[in-house]
Amino acid sequence: MPEKATPEPEGTATADELHVLHAGGENSLKSLFDPWDPACGDIAYIPYYFYAVRHRRGLVLIDCGAHPDLALDPVRRLGEQAQFSDIVMDVGDDVVGCLRRAGLDPADVTDIVITHLHFDHCGGLELLPHARVHVQQAEWDFAADPPVYQQLAYIPADWAQVQRWMFHQGEHDLFGDGAITLFPTPGHTPGHQSVLVRLAGRTALCVGDAAYHPMKMAERKLPAYLWSPDALIASWEQIEHLRDRHDAELLFSHYPGPDELAQSPAPFTAASHRSPMSPAAANQKGHTS
Binding site for Zn ion (CB under 5 A): 120, 209, 253, 289
Residue 174 or 207 having the CB closest to Zn ion: 207
Question: At closest approach, how far in Å is the CB of 245 from Zn ion?
Answer: 26
Question: At closest approach, how far in Å is the CB of 120 from Zn ion?
Answer: 5
Question: At closest approach, how far in Å is the CB of 8 from Zn ion?
Answer: 28
Residue 177 or 209 having the CB closest to Zn ion: 209
Residue 28 or 253 having the CB closest to Zn ion: 253
Residue 212 or 268 having the CB closest to Zn ion: 212
Residue 34 or 120 having the CB closest to Zn ion: 120
Question: At closest approach, how far in Å is the CB of 5 from Zn ion?
Answer: 26
User: In this structure, what are the phi and psi dihedrals at residue 124, rounded to the nearest 5 degrees?
Assistant: -90, -5
**Cα-Cα-Cα-Cα dihedral sign, residues 111, 117, 121, 123:** positive
Question: At closest approach, how far in Å is the CB of 150 from Zn ion?
Answer: 12
SS (H, E, C) the chain: CCCCCCCCCCCCCCECEEEEEEEEEEEEEHHHCCCCCCCCCCEEEEEEEEEEEEECCEEEEECCCCCHHHHCCHHHHHHHHHHCCEEECCCCCCHHHHHHHCCCCHHHEEEEECCCCCHHHHCCHHHCCCCEEEEEHHHHHHHHCCCCCCHHHCCHHHHCCCCCEEEECCCEECCCCCCEEEEECCCCCCCCEEEEEEECCEEEEEEECCCCCHHHHHCCCCCCCCCCHHHHHHHHHHHHHHHHHHCCEEEECCCCCHHHHHHCCCCCEEECCCCCCCHHHCCCCCCCC
Residue 238 or 289 having the CB closest to Zn ion: 289
Residue nearest to Zn ion (CB): 289
Residue 194 or 253 having the CB closest to Zn ion: 253
Question: At closest approach, how far in Å is the CB of 116 from Zn ion?
Answer: 8
Question: At closest approach, how far in Å is the CB of 252 from Zn ion?
Answer: 9
